[in-house]
């Protein structure tokens, strides 16, 4: 994102020399600061520092009718999205219904984005798109994906995409699908952008507290944030605003 042009009043011939010199010095001082600020905010995308930060997207980032694959970039991050075949197993087989329908039927009809859903009899109601625009939360992240490596042909996320454990994706219980968020590991300062395309994390019978985590990242995302070995990390998750190049 380029910094807005800095416009100073035109210097007239009748203006004293010292005013002209001051204007030039002011211009030379402001430009490096503005450039530095733009570089920082376009990389980190911190909305709390610069309100209304917009990430530029290169390439289409929504499926068009009949498309089965799309590739796009947000900053330095590349996303490759593939539609999963309807017979692919779900990444979370305990997902029971979406919008009151069988999961695969809801996916086939495109009724996923903000639709309520059930997991093991528990009802979840995602936030609206408008609510998601200001979402910002601190909590613990976990990661998943190791088990899917043994699935022939791959598995399907809750919005019908082919799950790739090496890609920069995530699961969230309440955000609309899909949506992009910035995740910052508060323990080491590392920050990335991920595409939220799945539901979770949910409580497991082995660890009921796992449902308290706010986001479940792919193995690839957790690797970039540096917490694969430890399994969890305290993170900041916030939605980002996108604009086509």
Q: Map out the domains of the chain as residue ranges.
A: 1-44, 54-244
Whether the CB-CB separation of 164 and 158 falls below 8 Å is answered with: no
At 148 the pLDDT is: 65
At 237 the pLDDT is: 97
Q: Does domain 54-244 have CATH number 2.40.40.10?
A: yes
At 50 the pLDDT is: 31
ω before 93 within 30° of 0 (cis)? no
Q: How far is 196 from 159, CA to CA, in rounded Å?
A: 10
At 208 the pLDDT is: 82
Composition of the chain by helix, strand, coil, percent to 5: 25, 30, 45
What does each of the 245 residues of the chain score in pLDDT, given as a tens digit?
Answer: 444 433 333 333 344 444 444 443 333 333 333 322 222 222 233 333 334 578 999 998 888 888 899 999 999 999 999 999 999 999 999 999 999 999 999 999 999 999 999 999 999 999 999 999 999 999 999 999 877 666 677 899 999 999 999 999 999 999 999 999 999 999 999 999 999 999 999 998 888 888 899 999 999 999 999 999 999 999 999 999 999 87
At 1 the pLDDT is: 41
């Amino acid at each position: 994102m380029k910094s807005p042009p800095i416009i100073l009043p035109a210097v007239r011939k009748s203006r004293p020399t010292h005013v002209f010199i001051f204007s030039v010095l002011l211009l030379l001082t402001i430009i490096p600061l503005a450039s530095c600020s733009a570089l920082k905010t376009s990389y980190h995308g911190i909305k709390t520092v610069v309100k209304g930060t917009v990430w530029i997207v290169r390439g289409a980032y929504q499926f068009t009718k009949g498309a089965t694959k799309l590739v796009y970039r947000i900053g330095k991050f590349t996303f490759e999205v593939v539609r999963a075949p309807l017979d692919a197993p779900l990444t979370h087989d305990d997902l029971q219904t979406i919008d009151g329908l069988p999961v695969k039927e809801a996916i086939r009809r495109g009724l996923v984005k903000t639709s309520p859903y059930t997991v093991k009899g528990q009802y979840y109601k995602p936030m609206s798109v408008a609510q998601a625009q200001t979402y910002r939360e601190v909590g613990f992240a976990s990661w998943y994906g190791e088990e899917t490596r043994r699935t022939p042909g791959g598995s399907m996320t809750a919005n019908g995409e082919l799950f790739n454990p090496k890609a920069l994706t995530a699961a969230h219980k309440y955000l609309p699908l899909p949506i992009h968020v910035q995740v910052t590991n508060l323990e080491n300062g590392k920050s990335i952008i991920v595409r939220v395309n799945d539901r979770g994390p949910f409580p497991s019978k082995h660890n009921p507290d796992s449902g308290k985590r706010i986001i479940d990242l792919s193995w690839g995302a957790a690797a970039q944030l540096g917490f694969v070995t430890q399994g969890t990390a305290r993170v900041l998750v916030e939605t980002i605003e996108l604009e086509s190049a």
